A and B are shown apart, each in its own frame.
Chain A
Amino acid sequence: MRDNADHFRIKAADDPQDILVLILDSSIRSWVKTLGREPASSLNDAVSALQLVTEQLLVFLNTFLLLHESNRVCVIVSGSDASRLVYPVFPDPETLPPGYDQVVEDASLDAAVGYSSQHHLISDHYQMVQDLKAAVERGIKVSLRNQEHPQTCNRHSCISSALATALCLLNRARRIQIERAAMGLGRDKDVIDTFEQEMHFNGRILTVLAGPDAPDQYVSMMNCIFSAQRLGVPIDSCMLAKEKDSTYFQQAARLTNGVYVRPEGFSTSNPDTLMQYLQTVFIVDKQSRDFLAMPTPDKVDFRASCMQTREIIDNGYTCSICLSTFDISVGKGAAMCPVCSARFAITNPRKRSSKP
């Protein structure tokens, strides 16, 4: 028989759906620095550069959604004032009857991450793409407007809170996926936990960065990176800023099997380079990375930051309780850990512990 002879046939397991959480750094300060000019004069340049990048990201997201009918995206815009989940859009809780908002939010979140059976089946691709475009453009506008205040406009982007939101979304998507698969096989909910291990979850995070690391977010960044590692979620980063790399996201990429890339020759006058990186490198899903070689960084700076001064340190002290690291100037002779308030035995300060 000529059965099974068709080379067009694809096994469902070889072609899983994918969830992408895109985090776009929209902090004005970073965007102004990316262009490398003075803040006051180039605000408009920064905004138009952001728009150019957004356009390309939308094309990239559309391509991503076209790759598989069950692919889903979430978009988080991270400004200097706050990070906002701009897509999927949730209905305004004010308009809903009390107690009902949680149900609606759950349903739309499930729909967004693509695993709720009904929404998943009758999703309208055209509508989804249109909504996505509108939501992202609106989200960026809102973010820019809220950064106009002089106090916020000089702060770093809230990238770690965006990362935490992304991980929450993906964790939820993973739960729903596991439950549905377990129920489809007619198994009890008790078996889910064991089932969890054999399940391949195909979610990932892409951060589009415009600025340098925010030292005050070091602890939360590291926590996010380790959660992502545990969840099996790669954190990809696309660094648009010239010259300076983000050591946090380089470490994130290394620890989570992600990709960290700084598009060569990217500038507002030559935005096509970004497009090429998006469509070649960042479009590749977790499964296909087993087959396609991904760019690897030459050297990753794994040095820790001091929890007090926020500087990157070569040598320092570490708290024996919470493992926080401190610069020598901070840690030497300290009676109490500044982070967890653990009291150290004063009698022998040199024995406390020291670490490179």
Chain B
Amino acid sequence: MPSYLRSQSVPLSATIFTDITHWSATNPQLLDALYQSPYAVQSVFRSLPPLARLYVTRLLYLPENESTPTLEAFRKSLRRRQRALDRHDAAIRALRELRVFTTSPSGLNASLHDPSKIVLHPTFARELRRSVSNSIPSVFGGGSGSSDPKDLDSFAADRLESILNFLVESTNHNSIPSGIIDALVHIGVLEQRREGLTITSAGFHFLLKDTSAQLWILLRSVLSSMFPADVEALTLVFQLGVSTAGRFYDISNLSATQQELIRELHHLGIVILNKNTFQVTVVGVRLLANATRSSAGPSDGMTLTKSAGEIQVFVETNFRVYAYTTSVFQINLLALFTHMRYRLPSMVVGHLTRDAVRKALMNGITADQIIGYLNAHAHPRMKKGTIPANVSDEIRLWEAEQDRVQTKPGVLLSDFSHGFESVLSYARDLNAVLWSAPEREMLVVSKNTFDQVKRFIRDSGIQ
């Protein structure tokens, strides 16, 4: 999967904090600058592991005369369970990586400094204390008015669906701004090929994720391709996380970079950009309110199915596919590996043909992904809730067909004057023979053993 390897800086399921730690490794001032914003501090605090949050609150109002606690003291406050220790280690790791816990407090006497003592990042602690003592003004100056949440929802759903549609169709380029396309190529969801932009295997993986995971991937790709390690952009993202959905905020207070980011977020459906104001959508606030919690709680499922469209699939043993859906996106997704026959108002009928599946496989979609998708959307009335075994076996066989030809680098040896037999037996002993034709005195050895064979030929004086 070369396209996925290229995008290794943006693994699909990572969180924004992976990017931030990545960036702050090269730019140590990034976090210091980020923590200047109380809103960023609030968002980061909220996104910490639950135990880490409690550790922070413990240290937040530590009386001055009390000695600074050590890591050992924190460990001692745990119940003696392995799960508790695991949580503790994860919490401390996150706190250290985001430098919320620092071991080198600035402004303290160096002689007092003890590496086992824990100190909160001074700016982080100051801004968090201000946040909980009601001395922070409302984000973006408070804003005014509000909109019907339904309008916000439908805007966000339209935007996401148009991006997803674009991914499966790749026809009407006009609907998607080039910035988003570049970002999609950057994370390896799309690939530039001879025939144009094509969806990759990672892209298919992307399509099967839930809405909030998809949006995070898009947002992170926009950030890392257009605003890498940009404090202003990151601050804005975290500010949006503590804002109120539907409220009209004034755009003129934002910096030029931030206004640019707002325009991109508009295309993702996270904010709605009006003339002089912008609103955050419900989806956007929910997405950004916590950057690390994976959604898929039972109550979060509703927006997902609404925006991405529901589909219920019957697969018959004769490879016929009946799909109940009205969503164009789901039909297009299914059409990636199904030969479509009829389209009815609430249903499509197709056939899983060898050609259609092969086309998908050649685009890098795997058999497991296809079978997984069909099983995930199997109609509840289907036997055992999975597609028939003969169909899934056949799809796997079609995938195996792809691998009929294996390529291995090799070197052809021919035109022997004498000694072909001894070279052949020597190469056989080395397990280096890929192909041989004794009657024509020709031989192919694998490339990595060629040097040894060459040495043998030279040493034994064979031409």
A-side residues, CB < 8 A to B, are 1-15, 58-59, 62-63, 66-69, 117-118, 121-127, 129-130, 133, 180-181, 184-185, 272-273, 275-276, 279-280, 283-285, 287-288, 290-293
Contacts A280-B58, A283-B54; is A59 near B90 (CB within 8 Å)? no
B-side residues, CB < 8 A to A, are 4, 8, 11-15, 17-18, 42, 45-47, 49-51, 53-54, 57-58, 60-63, 77-79, 81, 83-84, 87-88, 90, 93-94, 128, 131-134, 136, 138-139, 142, 146, 149, 242, 244-247, 282, 285-286, 289-290, 292-302
Which residue from chain B places its CB closest to the CB of A68 in the assembled complex? B46
Contacts A66-B46, A122-B246; is A292 near B54 (CB within 8 Å)? yes
Cβ contact within 8 Å between A67 and B53: yes
Give Cα A257–Cα B331 distance, bound, in whole angstroms: 53
In the complex, how many angstroms separate the beta carbon of A206 from the nearest chain B beta carbon?
A: 15
Given A63-B132, A181-B299, 11 more contacts at CB 8 Å? A8-B14, A12-B296, A13-B297, A59-B133, A122-B245, A123-B244, A126-B138, A184-B302, A284-B54, A291-B81, A292-B78
Which residue from chain A places its CB closest to the CB of B8 in the assembled complex? A2
Give Cα A63–Cα B132 distance, bound, in whole angstroms: 6
Cβ contact within 8 Å between B50 and A14: yes
In the complex, how many angstroms separate the beta carbon of B92 from the nearest chain A beta carbon?
A: 11
Cβ contact within 8 Å between A290 and B79: yes
Cβ contact within 8 Å between B293 and A291: no
Cβ contact within 8 Å between A6 and B78: no
In the complex, how many angstroms separate the beta carbon of A184 from the nearest chain B beta carbon?
A: 4
In the complex, how many angstroms separate the beta carbon of B369 from the nearest chain A beta carbon?
A: 12
Which residue from chain B places its CB closest to the CB of A130 in the assembled complex? B134
Cβ contact within 8 Å between A288 and B54: yes
Of B17, B50, B146, B242, which is within 8 A of A8 by CB?
B17
18 contacts between A and B (CB under 8 A): A3-B13, A5-B13, A9-B15, A10-B293, A59-B61, A62-B131, A66-B42, A67-B57, A68-B290, A121-B282, A123-B244, A130-B134, A276-B62, A279-B58, A279-B60, A283-B54, A291-B83, A293-B78
Of B61, B285, B302, which is within 8 A of A276 by CB?
B61
Of B13, B42, B142, B295, which is within 8 A of A6 by CB?
B13
Contacts A122-B244, A283-B57; is A7 near B4 (CB within 8 Å)? no
Give Cα A292–Cα B79 distance, bound, in whole angstroms: 5
Which residue from chain B places its CB closest to the CB of A287 in the assembled complex? B50
Which residue from chain A places its CB closest to the CB of B129 in the assembled complex? A59
Contacts A5-B14, A122-B246; is A67 near B46 (CB within 8 Å)? yes
A15 contacts across to B, CB distance below 8 A: 49-50, 290, 293
Cβ contact within 8 Å between A9 and B13: yes
Cβ contact within 8 Å between A58 and B286: no
Residue of A8, A58, A69, A184 with highest tally of chain B CB at under 10 A = A8
Cβ contact within 8 Å between A10 and B294: yes
A6 contacts across to B, CB distance below 8 A: 11, 13-15, 18
A13 contacts across to B, CB distance below 8 A: 297
In the complex, how many angstroms separate the beta carbon of A337 from the nearest chain B beta carbon?
A: 45
Give Cα A292–Cα B78 distance, bound, in whole angstroms: 4
B84 contacts across to A, CB distance below 8 A: 290-292
Contacts A67-B53, A185-B301; is A129 near B77 (CB within 8 Å)? no
Contacts A7-B90, A181-B298, A275-B61; is A293 near B79 (CB within 8 Å)? yes
Give Cα A191–Cα B433 distance, bound, in whole angstroms: 66
Which residue from chain A places its CB closest to the CB of B150 in the assembled complex? A118
A5 contacts across to B, CB distance below 8 A: 11, 13-14
A69 contacts across to B, CB distance below 8 A: 46, 289-290
In the complex, how many angstroms separate the beta carbon of A280 from the nearest chain B beta carbon?
A: 5
B42 contacts across to A, CB distance below 8 A: 66
Contacts A7-B93, A288-B50, A291-B81; is A121 near B15 (CB within 8 Å)? no
Give Cα A241–Cα B282 distance, bound, in whole angstroms: 46
In the complex, how many angstroms separate the beta carbon of A188 from the nearest chain B beta carbon?
A: 14
In the complex, how many angstroms separate the beta carbon of B32 from the nearest chain A beta carbon?
A: 20
Cβ contact within 8 Å between B297 and A7: no
Cβ contact within 8 Å between A121 and B295: no
Cβ contact within 8 Å between A291 and B51: yes
Give Cα A52–Cα B275 distance, bound, in whole angstroms: 47
Cβ contact within 8 Å between B134 and A10: no
Give Cα A10–Cα B289 distance, bound, in whole angstroms: 13
The 4 closest A-B pairs by CB, nearest first: A291-B84, A62-B132, A126-B138, A69-B289
A284 contacts across to B, CB distance below 8 A: 54
Of A59, A117, A122, A184, which is within 8 A of B285 by CB?
A122
Cβ contact within 8 Å between B134 and A9: no
B297 contacts across to A, CB distance below 8 A: 12-13, 184
Of A272, A275, A293, which is within 8 A of B77 by CB?
A293
In the complex, how many angstroms separate the beta carbon of B116 from the nearest chain A beta carbon?
A: 20
Cβ contact within 8 Å between B58 and A8: no
In the complex, how many angstroms separate the beta carbon of B296 from the nearest chain A beta carbon?
A: 6
B58 contacts across to A, CB distance below 8 A: 279-280
Cβ contact within 8 Å between B13 and A8: no
Of A1, A8, A185, A288, which is within 8 A of B15 by CB?
A8
Of B88, B139, B290, B302, which is within 8 A of A291 by CB?
B88
B87 contacts across to A, CB distance below 8 A: 291
Which residue from chain A places its CB closest to the CB of B247 in the assembled complex? A124
A133 contacts across to B, CB distance below 8 A: 134
In the complex, how many angstroms separate the beta carbon of A38 from the nearest chain B beta carbon?
A: 31
A293 contacts across to B, CB distance below 8 A: 77-79
In the complex, how many angstroms separate the beta carbon of B270 from the nearest chain A beta carbon?
A: 14
Cβ contact within 8 Å between A121 and B286: yes
In the complex, how many angstroms separate the beta carbon of A134 from the nearest chain B beta carbon?
A: 10
In the complex, how many angstroms separate the beta carbon of B285 from the nearest chain A beta carbon?
A: 7
B300 contacts across to A, CB distance below 8 A: 12, 184
Which residue from chain A places its CB closest to the CB of B66 in the assembled complex? A276
Which residue from chain B places its CB closest to the CB of A185 in the assembled complex? B298
Give Cα A280–Cα B60 distance, bound, in whole angstroms: 10
Give Cα A156–Cα B67 distance, bound, in whole angstroms: 40
Give Cα A6–Cα B19 distance, bound, in whole angstroms: 11
B17 contacts across to A, CB distance below 8 A: 8
Residue of A6, A15, A273, A285 with highest tally of chain B CB at under 10 A = A15
Give Cα A5–Cα B14 distance, bound, in whole angstroms: 7
In the complex, how many angstroms separate the beta carbon of B45 from the nearest chain A beta carbon?
A: 6
In the complex, how many angstroms separate the beta carbon of A269 from the nearest chain B beta carbon?
A: 13
In the complex, how many angstroms separate the beta carbon of B87 from the nearest chain A beta carbon?
A: 5
Give Cα A272–Cα B61 distance, bound, in whole angstroms: 8
B139 contacts across to A, CB distance below 8 A: 126
Which residue from chain A places its CB closest to the CB of B296 in the assembled complex? A12
Contacts A9-B292, A121-B286, A122-B244; is A3 near B298 (CB within 8 Å)? no
B45 contacts across to A, CB distance below 8 A: 66-67
B242 contacts across to A, CB distance below 8 A: 125-126
Cβ contact within 8 Å between A10 and B49: yes
In the complex, how many angstroms separate the beta carbon of A73 from the nearest chain B beta carbon?
A: 13
Cβ contact within 8 Å between B61 and A7: no
Of B54, B83, B146, which is within 8 A of A122 by CB?
B146
